[in-house]
A and B are shown apart, each in its own frame.
Chain A
Amino acid sequence: MTSVNFDLSQEQSMIVKMVREFAEEEIAPKAAEVDRNARFPIETFEKLGELGLLGLPISEEYGGAGGDTISYALAVEEIGRACGSTGLSYAAHVSLGCGPLYYFGTEEQKKKYLTPLASGKALGSFGLTEPNAGSDAGGTQTRAVRDGDSYVINGSKSFITNAGYAKTIVVTAVVGKDERGKNRIGAFIVPTDTKGFSVVRTYEKMGLRGSNTVELSLEDVRVPAENLLGSESAGFKQFLYTLDGGRISIGALSVGLARAAYEAALQYAKERVQFGHTISKFQAIQFKLADMAMHIELARDMVLKAAWLKDQHRPFTKESAMAKLFASEICMRAADQAVQIHGGAGYVQDFPVERIMRDAKLMEIGEGTSEVQRLVIARQIGC
């Protein structure tokens, strides 16, 4: 009769403990600096690689640590709690950089391209979004044309995480049209030192400023035909699946950021005295903190449920959209309320909640906006 079980395994709790310690000691102290200087903390990623975290849920044959999605989600939460920027780049490397190669690569593709990423020797990236294809990612305009033994790719990609530092990027491109006149989209493995591949600019962002986000240009980028991932028309389904997985990590990152906001607000509320009492004695403040605590708990449960379903090889599209949607919205709400609890102090950079509020907003946009999550859920429930 006992099948629902909220305990972590010994291995899962050891992973969380290790990541929390590492994040508190090595990541959190840099969070304000990487934000202020918009500096990508490459040295942190080298250390994450040495600890095996860059390949956490990838099997050992490809250089990963062979952990499960639950451990991965909890690791993202801990890293995100310490620094949103590091959390986003970490999640993007694992879910979007390694993900498509791991799920859809051939044995040779995995050996050659996934192993360096999962073993932490290099970073990976995923190029889906384009100037004219965001929520409507199927509207890709980048083209790949078969030319003998290779494909020649032309186009541009926007808002691509880690691509300025990545060794390998998977990009989507239109290969042709099917009988119904719809785009056939393929995904291609592109080493970033390929001729014609370039970073056009690095965006100046509102938040997550320590995460690398760039615009890419692909001009006559020639890759061997064997760099096609799956078939010429598999790209659309592949990116939908990749994003389903990625949403678990954005949900987890949202929980981490929300926790950071909540913990800072709780501490501040217990210290700040007005009208002769700490403000934590005022019911108006208590209710905000109670809501935050409740939302965080619920969001984490949903993230872990989606992760569990993925680990069980069951459908998780609806649950990961719900987890991402709920977690990102309570994250933004928690960040907003944390600033409110800090009053003027929350609006200036002396306290972390100012940064967290800027970081939080991306959670409602990246890997599918809140509107798109609602579309996904609506489709799943049969609308």
Chain B
Amino acid sequence: MNIIVCIKQTFDTEAKISLENGAVKEDGVQFILNPYDEYAVEEALKIKEEQGGEVTVVTVGPARVEEAIRTALAMGADEAIHIEDEAAYGDEYTIAEVLAAAIRQKSYDLILAGNQAVDDGSGQVAVRLAQLLDIAHISTITKLEIHGTQVVAERDAEGDTEIAEASLPVLVTAQQGLNEPRYPSLIGIRKASKKPLTKLTLADLGLSADAVGRKVTPVEVFLPAAKGAGRILEGDTAMRVQELVRELRQTSKVL
């Protein structure tokens, strides 16, 4: 079983976000492997342990993302592909095109990814990738079983569980609850630096910067307004409701 896992390095979920020149500032921020991608890596490793095979992680990003790659390798992935090229860091369209080009060069049975990244939270890249590769996808899964070429997955459907079937090759995206990701062991960490890591550029993938240029451009980036102190409304229920509606209309203008 050849398994590919798409991963992204994201801000630490506890990082303090600040803006500089209309962009999120990266200085002094801790980066982590996107938590949903950790589930994807863990699931890939479990399948490999049960059925044998190879796990390759693929990512797009600047030099710093190598730490996330090494984390996945330390957990037990076998090799990695790192597309490091300024022209590849566009929007969801760009990333999906770039990943598809890299993955087309490999043979694969199963592709795993996180169902979203905790930074942008668009949840688009993996499903776009399935479309580009012309394979089926099952998103936000909480359970995965593979029997031969048959795949049965449980997916989180707004609180209910939906059972979906497909056959390999398929792309699935991991939801919280799929598994408990392992900690990389010390031996794993030490071995990670010796595992194969292939660095690619758009040229290596036969792509031109124009062909994958972003389709969406952020117009403005701003922080949510600081939360003010709360207010406890007084009086009987009718009075409080009236006051609440007035507040919502006049002060916060949401009605």
Residues of A within 8 A of B193 (CB): 10-11
Binds A, one of B46-54, B104-112, B183-191, B205-213: B183-191
How far, in Å, is A58 (CB) from chain B's closest CB? 11
**Chain B count of residues within 8 A CB distance of the other chain:** 14
B183 to A51, Cβ gap below 8 A?
yes
Task: Produce 1/0 per residue, B172-187, CB < 8 A to A.
Answer: 0000000000011111
Query: Within the complex, which residue of B67, B70, B71, B187 is in contact with A65, where a contact is CB–CB below 8 Å?
Result: B187
Shortest distance from the beta carbon of B10 to any chain A beta carbon, whole Å: 14
Q: How far is the CB of B176 from chain A (nearest CB, A)?
A: 15
Are B186 and A52 within 8 A (Cβ)?
yes
Please, how many angstroms separate the alpha-carbon atoms of A60 and B188 in the complex? Answer: 12
Number of A-B contacts (CB under 8 A): 43
Question: Which residue of the partner chain B has the closest CB to A53?
Answer: B186
Neighbouring A residues of B184 by C-beta, 8 Å: 14, 18
B183 touches A67 (CB 8 A): no
> For window 3-58 of chain A, which residues contact chain B by CB distance below 8 Å?
10-11, 13-15, 17-18, 21-22, 50-53, 56
Asked if A18 and B190 make an inter-chain contact with CB atoms under 8 angstroms apart, the answer reads no
Question: A196: CB under 8 A from chain B?
Answer: no
Residue of B nearest to A25 (CB): B183
How many residues of A are counted as interface, with CB atoms below 8 angstroms from the partner's CB atoms?
18
A66 located at the interface, meaning its Cβ lies under 8 Å from any Cβ of chain B in the complex = yes
138-185 of chain B: CB within 8 A of chain A: 183-185
Contact (A21, B186) CB under 8 Å given A10-B70, A11-B193: no
Q: Please, which residue of chain B has its CB at the minimum distance from the CB of A13?
A: B67
Contact A51 B185 (CB under 8 A): yes
Q: In the complex, which residues of chain A have a beta carbon less than 8 angstroms from the beta carbon of B129?
A: none
Residues on A close to B: CB < 8 A?
Answer: 10-11, 13-15, 17-18, 21-22, 50-53, 56, 60, 65-67
The 9 A-B pairs of least Cβ separation, nearest first, read: A52-B186, A65-B186, A52-B185, A14-B189, A51-B185, A52-B187, A22-B183, A18-B183, A18-B184
Q: A14-B192, A18-B183, A67-B186 are in contact. List 20 more A-B contacts (CB 8 A).
A: A10-B70, A10-B193, A11-B192, A13-B67, A14-B67, A14-B71, A14-B189, A15-B186, A15-B189, A18-B184, A18-B186, A21-B183, A22-B183, A51-B183, A52-B187, A53-B186, A56-B186, A65-B190, A66-B190, A67-B190
